[in-house]
Amino acid sequence: MKRILVTGGCGFIGTNFIKFLFNNVSEEHTVVNVDKLTYAANPENLMDIEQNFPTRYFFEKADISDIEKIEKIIDKYEIDTIVNFAAESHVDRSIIGPQDFIQTNIIGTFCLLELVRKFQKMGKEIRFHQVSTDEVYGSLQGSEFFIETAPYNPSSPYSASKASADLLVKSYVNTYKIPATISL
The question of whether 148 is a catalytic residue gets the answer: no
End-to-end CA separation in angstroms for the chain: 26
| Burial of 20 per CB tally in 10 Å (0-12, 13-18, 19+) | exposed
Choose, from 57, 158, 166, 172, the residue flagged as catalytic. 158
> What single-letter DSSP state applies at residue 181?
E
Quote the crossing angle between the two packed helices 67-77 and 109-121, to the nearest 10°: 50
Choice among 60, 80, 88, 135 that is catalytic: 135
Alpha-helical regions (H) of the chain: 12-24, 47-52, 67-77, 91-96, 99-101, 109-121, 157-176
Residues 6+ apart with CB under 8 A from 53: 22
Reply yes or no on whether 134 is catalytic. Answer: yes
From 75, 125, 134, 144, the catalytic residue: 134
Q: Is 56 exposed, middle or buried (0-12, 13-18, 19+ CB in 10 A)?
A: middle
135 counts as catalytic: yes
Active site residues: 134-135, 158
